[in-house]
Structure 1
Amino acid sequence: MTTTAEQRRITTWLARTHPLPEQAHAEWAFRGVALLPLGRRFDAIRVPTERVHAAVGSSAPDVVAATLAEWLDGPVIRDTRHSNGAYYVLVRPGAQWDGAEEYLGKDTYLGVPRIGDVTMLAAWVVRPQHPGNVCDVAHLRALLATAEPLKAIDP
């Protein structure tokens, strides 16, 4: 659990991704979600819901959150606009990704929710634990490698 002071530090770090950090703060205040450019402080890998749920072995939100936190040790956002909304795993800019999931980097914007909020657009599944906290692609690769074997034994 992060403290209020740490949440402010994380929020500041996220806002500084935007060329105009005050605009990110205004978007969070008005909409609860800010469009932040990727490629500067973090990139994202879009993982379809069914892949995450197969790898985790559950679609229960608390199980998914706990498993992703344990495996990835970094922030994950979920598109909450519909029940099959994708998961966005935040990774370091320019991380080497060779998986089937879409890598989002420079020249792409991601809707990032305000820390502590659940909105109609996006929500943190796993919040950043400190400024600069991102997931290791090797951990994501290992987690997703379990999805296919689990799918094969699922009745």
Structure 2
Amino acid sequence: MEKHVLDRLIAEWLARAHPVPAQVLLEWSEHGVALLPLGRSFAAVRLTEALVNGALRPDAPDLVAKALAERLDGPVIHDYRTAGPTYYALIQWHAGLVWDYSETAPCLQSDTYLGVPRIGRREPPGTYWVVPPRYEGDLCRPQAVRDLIDAGHQRVGENTSA
């Protein structure tokens, strides 16, 4: 399948998370980012940069994307919030119902909107895909996200106790 056709199918899938998909397409066109409600098609796990870097121990910042793609095997968004750089791993919406890492890596779902970049936005500035979806319905496995969080906690703990 040609890349532009695949990108269109992925964009349509993401837009369907919104009650008015045409609104999403308009926001992407005008701003490059659209606010999508979580909990309908997918949820998002918020991961701090410290947690991600602790888990991955990247040799260079540009290796984070490759390491996240390998570890999570699904789409990840990067955003720079007032609290610092943040990653959002997209997972199945129902996994958030039993999410057990709410203190350090909350799973955002119902009643929350996430800024989702258009599919072609893959570098800063602003919100962008660190790991873009590869196909319609592509999501990270919740257990892979949990494993990443556990590794990050373990290594961050090692650095603070030394």
TM above 0.5, one fold?
yes
Counterpart position of 2:149: 144
Give runs of aligned pairs for residues 26-105 of structure 1, distance below 5 A.
26-58=26-58, 60-80=60-80, 84-95=84-95, 96-99=98-101, 100-105=104-109
- After the TM superposition, which segments of 4 or more aligned residues of structure 1 sit over 4 Å from their partners? none
Greater CA drift, 72-81 or 142-151? 142-151
Structure 1 residue 121 corresponds to structure 2 residue 93: no
CA–CA distance in structure 2, aligned partners of residues 29 and 136 of structure 1: 30
How far is 1:85 from its partner? Answer: 1.6
Give the SS at the match of 1:85. Answer: strand
How far is 1:80 from its partner? Answer: 3.3
* One-letter code aligned to 1:105: Q
* One-letter code aligned to 2:109: G
* One-letter code aligned to 1:106: S
Q: 1 or 2, which has the higher helix percentage? A: 2
Q: How many residue pairs align between the two structures?
A: 154
Counterpart position of 2:116: 112
Which ranges of structure 2 fall in alignment gaps of 5 or more residues? none
Identity of aligned residues (%): 44
Contact 1:15–1:25 at 8 Å: present in 2 too?
yes
Contact 1:76–1:125 at 8 Å: present in 2 too?
yes
Contact 1:38–1:105 at 8 Å: present in 2 too?
yes
Contact 2:105–2:149 at 8 Å: present in 1 too?
no
Contact 1:80–1:123 at 8 Å: present in 2 too?
no
Which ranges of structure 1 fall in alignment gaps of 5 or more residues? none
Greater CA drift, 143-152 or 5-14? 143-152
CA–CA distance in structure 2, aligned partners of residues 59 and 37 of structure 1: 35
